[in-house]
């Protein structure tokens, strides 16, 4: 009994060594077998790729020869050698004299579809079976028909068609040549590497013209086995659809044809399977406990790494978007100054133009262009969170109803709009127009993701978080949120696109015109509300689409009713106003505009000189209009300085660069009101009237 005690601790060490040895053997064997399998598949794939290249080249050359023959016939028709004596074609003139390669019959039909001439009594194929349509063919296009039975030879055929023009250059009709379907397969029957190899030729719409494959394989998510080379249009891939197959796909872009070669992986791997069976027989025993423990540790480590990677990715996205936002805000601010001068002077010039005159029409165009520029600047500032925005408490449901009402009237064919609302009466604090724009941009983006139609689903709900939560684009703190989701059934979002999704001017849809600011504006709006965005997508899955969920903090404050505004443009009564802006053109513009409105303006381009003038004569001025961003002194700093000797002087701060941060800073130093650049004449007049009438005498 005493002798056996020292052996007990050694027993676990023996099993540990045995288990580690078995695990090492499994890893080495599996890696070797996997490498051998890849080599076997790559070798078979290379053979399939070379064969597909040769067959595609043969098919292209054969069809090109038929096209050349048709073009020769068309040339004879054009120079009048055959017209109007179409009867000369009958009697096998073309098969013997022109010798169209591969072609078995030739027909000439006019633009009404009537047969003018033929090389045999066989019926011509149905004109509606061609792709592209015969009526849409240009002089350089060639159309291909669906397979049809050839009554003369008794074998299936396909036809090529080209148009010919009459003596006036208009569409005269079409030349149609038939060739056996088997001609499309070329030398495949002789060059087929194995009995399991299959070949087919498909038209651009997916219709099979020749071969034994019933459908054009979907290889969008297949595994690439061979790196792309300069001589290949497509890779050889490994596809699993119940049976794994090697697929080589090549196209003839000009004719819209796709040639597909396949081989069963089971047959290709027969030699490797014998080797794998022999090698795996020596590594069947594993230590189950050690495998389970290793699996558990690996999963825990993977979760930790995934969490760190997600946080790092989110931080990188946030920093990149903030940098782009700062740049966009600065550019928009400078552009705002230019746009303010254009809009202001255009409005004043329009006031002096005679209605209906050429000058009035031209100025109206200038004003419309300036307002479009203003809208673009507002979108850039929405992304950068630098726009001067109003903040109020509002219900979100009426805004979503308004967006969906507009969308319902303009849905493209095939798009179905579905909605589910589970947050009645939910309120937000901020600018309601931003929510309108964010929802509209998301819905527009979803519709563009479904060019062939699908379901656009919009839903809302309440979400309460008890602890912080990270989503794909942002971090949510505990609290109550509106969860607003917009989902589509498009192709989904690729991983490499996800990192740039909300960057301004980034787009993957080159065919759509626009500024590329749609999703960037959505990100800016959500960030300004203090929320976050969660994007979920599984690219490659059928109708997987993408789901954008906006989390916006719920407001429990009471609704604020907006006061009605007068439609008339109020004027001044000779009050003296000081204007401060570092842009001389804007100061001159403001002086002219305010003088027209009935005020006495005095402009300064140096805020320090303006402060000195205010200190010397504090009772001379009825109000101060100042820009915010100036090199010597900001507008809020100027206001803070003058409050020491003019606490009651109304101050109107005008800036296109600020947002809620500017509003809070302005309120803290005593600014009476904040307006966003560029201002229109009526907007400025209303603001000044409200500002001056609210001041108590004395």
Nearest to 246 by CA among 31, 30, 52, 36: 52
For residue 417, give the H/E element and its range: strand 415-422
Q: Please tell me which residue, 607 or 508, carries the higher pLDDT value.
A: 607
Mean pLDDT of 229-248: 58
> Is the pTM of the predicted complex or chain greater than 0.85?
no
How many C-beta atoms lie closer than 10 Å to residue 368's C-beta? 11
Q: Return d(Cα 204, Cα 143) in angstroms, integer.
A: 11
pLDDT in tens, 537-564: 877 766 678 899 999 999 888 775 544 3
Mean pLDDT of 119-124: 80
| Bond prior to 300 in cis (omega within 30° of 0) | no
What proportion of the chain, given as a percentage, has pLDDT over 90? Answer: 12
Buried b (16+ CB within 10 A) or exposed e, 381-398: bbbbbbbbbebeebbbbe
Q: Looking at the chain, how many residues does it have?
A: 698
Q: Return d(Cα 634, Cα 652) in angstroms, integer.
A: 13
pLDDT in tens, 611-621: 999 999 888 99
> H-type helices in 269-287, by residue range?
270-280
Tokens representing 352 are: 């002096």
Most confidently modeled range among 261-265, 538-542, 636-640: 636-640
Mean pLDDT of 363-387: 61
37-46, 240-249, 432-441, 450-459: the lowest-pLDDT one: 240-249
5-9, 317-321, 368-372, 554-558: the lowest-pLDDT one: 5-9
User: Quick one: residue 242, left, alpha or beta (phi over 0 = left, psi -120 to 50 = alpha)?
Assistant: left
Beta strands, E only, 30-155: 105-110, 115-118, 143-144, 148-149
Tokens representing 116 are: 């003018």
How many C-beta atoms lie closer than 10 Å to residue 297's C-beta? 10
- The answer, yes or no, to whether residue 463 has pLDDT greater than 90, is yes
Mean pLDDT rounded to a whole number for the chain? 76
Nearest to 199 by CA among 55, 73, 336: 55
pLDDT in tens, 184-194: 887 776 666 67
Mean pLDDT of 473-498: 87
Residue 26's SS3 state is helix
Instruction: Give CA angle at 446 (443, 452), nearest 5°.
Output: 130
Q: Please, which pLDDT band fits residue 368 given cuts at 50, 70 and 90?
A: low
* Structure-derived torsion over alpha carbons of residues 231, 233, 239, 244, reported in degrees to the nearest 10: -40
- The answer, yes or no, to whether residue 148 has pLDDT greater than 90, is no
At 590 the pLDDT is 84
Q: Are 179 and 104 a contacting pair, CB within 8 Å?
A: yes
At 378 the pLDDT is 62
């Amino acid at each position: 009994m005493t002798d056996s005690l020292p052996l007990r601790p050694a027993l676990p060490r023996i099993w540990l060594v045995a288990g580690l040895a078995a695990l090492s053997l499994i890893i080495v064997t599996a890696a070797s077998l996997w490498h051998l399998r890849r080599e076997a598949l790559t070798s078979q794939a290379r053979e399939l790729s070379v064969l597909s290249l040769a067959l595609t080249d043969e098919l292209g050359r054969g069809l090109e020869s038929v096209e050349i023959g048709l073009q020769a016939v068309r040339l004879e028709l054009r120079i009048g050698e055959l017209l109007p004596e179409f009867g000369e074609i009958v009697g096998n003139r073309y098969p013997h004299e022109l010798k169209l390669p591969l072609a078995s019959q030739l027909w000439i039909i006019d633009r009404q579809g009537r047969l003018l001439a033929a090389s045999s009594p066989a019926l011509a194929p149905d004109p509606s079976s061609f792709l592209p349509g015969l009526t849409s063919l240009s002089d350089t296009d060639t159309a291909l028909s669906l397979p049809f039975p050839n009554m003369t030879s008794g074998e299936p055929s396909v036809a090529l068609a080209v148009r010919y023009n009459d003596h006036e250059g208009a569409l005269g009709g079409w030349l149609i040549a038939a060739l056996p379907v088997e001609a499309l397969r070329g030398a495949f029957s002789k060059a087929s590497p194995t009995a399991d190899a299959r070949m087919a030729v498909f038209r651009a719409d997916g219709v099979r013209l020749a071969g034994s494959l019933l459908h054009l394989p979907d290889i969008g998510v297949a595994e690439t086995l061979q790196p792309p080379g300069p001589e290949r249009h497509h890779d050889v891939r490994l596809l699993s659809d119940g049976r794994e197959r090697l697929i080589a796909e090549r196209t003839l872009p000009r004719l819209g044809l796709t040639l597909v070669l396949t081989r069963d992986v089971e047959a290709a791997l027969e030699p490797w399977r014998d080797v794998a069976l022999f090698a795996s027989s020596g590594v069947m025993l594993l230590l189950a406990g050690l495998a389970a423990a290793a699996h558990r540790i690996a999963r825990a480590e993977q979760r930790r790494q995934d969490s760190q990677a997600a946080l790092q990715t989110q931080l990188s996205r946030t920093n990149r978007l903030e940098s782009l936002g700062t740049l966009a805000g600065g550019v928009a601010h400078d552009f705002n100054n230019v746009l303010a001068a254009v809009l202001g002077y255009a409005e004043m010039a329009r006031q002096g133009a005679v209605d209906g005159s050429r000058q009035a029409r031209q100025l109206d165009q200038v004003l419309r262009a300036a307002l479009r520029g203003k809208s673009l600047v507002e979108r850039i500032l929405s992304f950068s969170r630098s726009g001067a925005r109003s903040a109020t408490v509002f219900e979100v449901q009426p805004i979503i109803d308004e967006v969906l009402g507009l969308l319902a009237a303009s849905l493209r064919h095939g798009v179905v709009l579905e909605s589910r609302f589970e947050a009645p009466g939910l309120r937000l604090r901020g600018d309601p127009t931003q929510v309108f724009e964010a929802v509209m941009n998301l819905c527009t983006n979803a519709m563009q993701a479904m060019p062939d139609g699908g379901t656009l689903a919009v839903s809302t709900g309440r979400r309460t978080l008890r602890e912080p939560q990270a989503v794909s684009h942002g971090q949510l703190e505990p609290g109550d949120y509106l969860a607003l989701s917009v989902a589509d059934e498009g192709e989904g979002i690729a991983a490499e696109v996800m990192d740039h999704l909300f960057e301004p001017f980034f787009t993957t849809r080159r065919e759509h015109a626009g500024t590329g600011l749609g999703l960037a504006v959505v990100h800016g709006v959500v960030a300004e509300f203090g929320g976050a965005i969660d994007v979920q997508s599984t690219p490659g899955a059928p109708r997987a689409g993408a789901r954008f969920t906006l989390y916006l903090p719920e407001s429990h404050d009471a609704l604020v009713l907006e006061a009605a505004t007068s439609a008339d443009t109020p004027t001044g009564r000779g009050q003296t106003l000081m204007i401060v802006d570092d842009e001389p053109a804007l100061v001159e513009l403001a002086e002219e505009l305010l003088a027209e409105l009935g005020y006495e303006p005095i402009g300064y381009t140096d805020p320090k000189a303006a402060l000195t003038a205010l200190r010397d004569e504090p009772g001379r001025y009825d109000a101060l209009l100042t820009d915010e961003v100036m090199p010597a002194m900001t507008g809020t700093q100027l206001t803070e300085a003058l409050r020491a000797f003019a606490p009651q002087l109304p101050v109107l701060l005008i800036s296109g660069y600020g947002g809620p941060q500017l509003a809070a800073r302005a309120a803290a130093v005593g600014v009476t009101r904040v307006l966003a650049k560029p201002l229109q004449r009526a907007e400025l007049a209303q603001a000044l009237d409200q500002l001056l009438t609210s001041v108590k005498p004395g």
